[in-house]
Structure 1
Amino acid sequence: MSRLSAIYKYYCYQATVSFGFFSPIFTLFLLYRNLDYTQIALLSTLYTTLTIVGEIPTGYVGDRIGRRDSLVISSVCMTLSILGFVVARSFLALAVLYVLWTLALVFRSGSDDAWLYDHLRAELDADEFARVRGRGMAVNRAVTVVTVLGGGVLYELDPRLPFLASGVLNGAGVVVLSTLPRNRGYGDADSDDVLSPSDAVGVIRRHLSVPPLRSFVVYVALFFAAVGVVESYVQPIATGPLGIPVELMGPLYAGFTLVSAGVSYYAGAIEETVGLRTTTLLVPVLLCVSFVLPVFAPLLALPMFVARTGSNTLLRPLVNQYINDHSESVGRATILSAASMAYAALRLPLTLVGGFAADAYSPLVTVAAVGVVVLVGLALVALWGSPVQAGTETTSTS
């Protein structure tokens, strides 16, 4: 296999992990199934709790059995979960699907970036990570643009059709993943260089409890928590205060995704021009300010939606690049998963309180409250210690 062919296959894999068919109508679908915001928040809380419990073990499994095989497990679970929405009707059945969904995401978390980073370092150049990761996300967003346009139409024909179409697309990822090469060493199944459970705990403590990752992970965790919580209220705000018809949600999400794709494609260039430190520090602050403004002028929710999607797409590869650069090759997926666990831990209370607030007040008020709370948190972390410090990859082969 040529050096570049694996990267092209990675791009194909990114194309299959799109949720475009149902992303414009997912919250509306749950409301269609007679759930209220509190029940939706409880499902999100279940997902977040299981993420906290499962991130480190699945990251360890990714280092132990191989990142590629971990991704295969993820795609299988995701496909089963998505197809399950076609038939699930009760809250309990939906909860089971959320369990499968969580398993899919935690098996993918850390493993995909760890596979890509080590593959690039072995075959090309690890400094290309942000560029390749960003372009992979751009491919994902391009596919999402096409599928979201059909999602609203399919939903109008039958609310179950978007999930059927998405299940087929995600299932194709299993086939693509089976053709990817394993990393050379560093924890794949055919390597002798693997972590023991006690080693995994030591790696996490050694990297996440001290600078440069300690305050960095907490800072970006607040950002990702805010992005995740607000996601549940985009569709109710769009179809409620903004008065956008359901059939136009597809084109609306396509517009968001086009912006996201452009930002993702140029993530590496933005990092080189603006700098990782400036980007990481300012983007979360500006986004949280945008969460507050729609309370005073609801139309400002539209640019807020764009900012939310674009900022998440921009920071994701930059954050993972920084964590990779300050991690060991052995245990890289474990460290990335531990960081994701921190993101979920901070999202948990915001999600649960947000559900009660949305039922008691409104989605707009809830989003504004999230913005204020996270802004305060960002300020406290910045006072605690500099979130982003200069430095290069600390360990490469140990």
Structure 2
Amino acid sequence: MSDSGGARSAVLSYYLFRVTDSVGFIWPVFTLFLLWNDLTFTQIGTLSAISAVLVVVFEVPTGYLADRIGHRNTLAIGMGATATSIAGFVAASTFRQFVALYVIWALANALRHGAADAWLYEMLRERLDSDAFTRVRGRGGAVYQVVTAVTMIVGGLLYAVHPTYPFAASAVLSGLGVGAILLMPQTDADADQPGVTDALTTLRERFTRPSLRAFVPFIALFFAMVTTADTYIQPITVDVIERLSAALAPVAEDAVGRDGSSLSVPEEATLGFVYAGFAFAGGIASYNAERIRGWLGLRRALLAVPLVTAAALVFPLAVPLLAVPAFFLMRAATDLSKPLVNQYLNDRAGSASRATVLSAAQMSYAVVRAPLKPLVGVIADATSPFGAIAALGGGFLIVGLSIVVVAQSVIADGPAVESTGVEESAG
């Protein structure tokens, strides 16, 4: 069915939601803020571990909840929880208080993970065409990244005035997000109420099919690789900046004189603009997801993007100056992959348990990511951050290519599950 007028309005409301979904105000200063509150690095690491475990615990139950009470309603609850958590950071001052806020934050993220993409896919299926998912999701991602880039720069400036100001601004933006979500229309799937047994049966059936049983581990490993590599962007970028500064110092001295004023830029400011650049690169890639899908096909794109990204992470070990371009490629590849991956998963998830299936996929990503981060940390301590990202890239090439060879068909070309829940061909 096609309802172009209603679809256009619904898509615009989705884009408005994506504007408010950004946490760019606090992203580049989050660790600095925790240190300002006298938390140690051990405590900060503990908070990250708590978050990772809670993601695994919450994902499937919140996906099931979304299928029970409606995708839009669950999304609104999740956004409200996000606003509450971020606002709490303004007043928190003890480790226990931050633990409580991280619990709320993890729950909020889990509530939003499956619900947003499930709502979008169902809305497009009902009002336009489910094949438009990659295009709309990709452009929504571009909106998110542009807003994130701008708010990251503003957040850094607000932090310089007072460390709590970025959190206050982010809480207000998330609060506005609740209103934006309520402007989004309900979908017919919001009335579906699968039982617990039905939901678990659906998960078992979906994830043991040929089209998903190798795809989910392959993509989970890719997302674990890029998420873990994110940890080393700051130290590696600072290292590259120092190398460039040392190399360009004689040129700078000749330009301004040995007693001239310094041309150096604070590393924190440079990092802020680098992160904004990552967001813009991701936005461009996400916006063009549908175009790239048309050029390569969904199957080729989902195979090529992870493998090329992994290879790019290996080269900086030999040529450190390639690290920053590799990170730009990695961020673009990540944001390009998300609409493609979710198109593939949505095409193979029935309407009644769509959010449950998407949340289960998110849980699998967290299961792979949780042990990988400390393992790569050991490698970084034993070698260097460059060695860590090279190990990530090389490890993915070995394991990922092994999955491709053993499974033979990681990504199916055959027909997908119909939105009514009809079985796909196992062909």
> What interval of TM-score do these two structures reach, taking the shorter chain for normalisation?
over 0.9
Q: What is the total number of aligned residue pairs between the two structures?
A: 393
- Partner Cα separation in structure 1 for residue 112 and residue 412 of structure 2: 27
Instruction: Give the aligned partner of residue 16 of structure 2.
Output: 12
Contact 2:19 2:143 in 1 (8 A): yes
Q: What residue number does 1:194 align with? A: 193
**Where does structure 2 lack aligned partners over 5 or more consecutive residues?**
243-265, 422-427
Check the 8 A contact 1:25/1:235 in 2, yes or no: no
Structure 2 Cα separation of the partners of residues 321 and 115 of structure 1: 13
Decide whether aligned partners of structure 1 residues 296 and 17 sit closer, same or farther in structure 2, where only a CA change above 3 A counts: same
299 and 39 in structure 1: CA distance in 2 versus 1, 3 angstrom threshold: farther
Give the Cα–Cα distance (whole angstroms) in 2 for the partners of residues 117 and 384 of structure 1: 32
Q: Which stretch shifts more, 105-114 or 82-91? A: 82-91
Give the CA deviation at 1:112. 0.6
Where 2:28 maps in the other structure, the secondary structure is: coil
CA deviation string 1:245-294 (max 9, x = no partner) = 11222222221111111111110010011111111112112212222322
Do the aligned partners of 2:6 and 2:127 also contact (CA within 8 Å) in 1?
A: no
Moved more, 47-56 or 94-103: 94-103
Aligned pairs for 1:1-398 within 5 A = 2-33=6-37, 39-184=43-188, 186=189, 188=190, 191=191, 193-243=192-242, 245-358=267-380, 362-385=384-407, 386-398=409-421
- Rounded to whole Å, the distance in 2 between the matches of 1:394 and 1:137 is 25
Q: Distance in 2 between matches of 1:329 and 1:384?
A: 31
| Matched residue SS, 1:330 | helix
Structure 2 CA distance for aligned equivalents of residues 40 and 378 of structure 1: 31
Matches of 2:149 and 2:288 in 1, distance apart? 18
TM-score (norm 2): 0.87
Q: Does the CA contact (< 8 Å) of 1:24 and 1:235 recur in 2?
A: no
Quickly say closer, same or farther: Cα 1:232–1:101, change in 2 above 3 A.
farther
Conserved in 2, the CA contact under 8 Å of 1:63 and 1:333? yes
CA drift at 1:175: 0.9
Distance 1:227 1:282, change over 3 A: same
Give how far 1:147 is off: 0.9
Q: Point out 4+ residue stretches in structure 1 off by more than 6 angstroms.
A: none
1: CA distance between counterparts of 2:383 and 2:371? 18
Show the counterpart of 2:254: none
Letter in 1 for 2:327: F
Secondary structure at the counterpart of residue 351 of structure 1: helix
* Structure (1/2) with the larger helix percentage: 2
What's the CA shift for 1:37?
Answer: 5.3
Higher radius of gyration, 1 or 2: 2
Residue type at the aligned position of 1:212 = S
Give ranges in structure 1 of 5+ residues lacking alignment: none
Decide whether aligned partners of structure 1 residues 166 and 266 sit closer, same or farther in structure 2, where only a CA change above 3 A counts. same
Contact 2:225 2:393 in 1 (8 A): yes
Give the C-alpha shift of residue 230 in structure 1.
1.9
Q: Percentage identity across aligned positions? A: 43
Mapped partners of 1:393, 1:80: distance in 2 = 39
1:114 to 1:215, Cα distance in 2 relative to 1, 3 A: same
Other structure's SS at 1:388 match: coil
Change (3 A) 1:354 1:46: farther
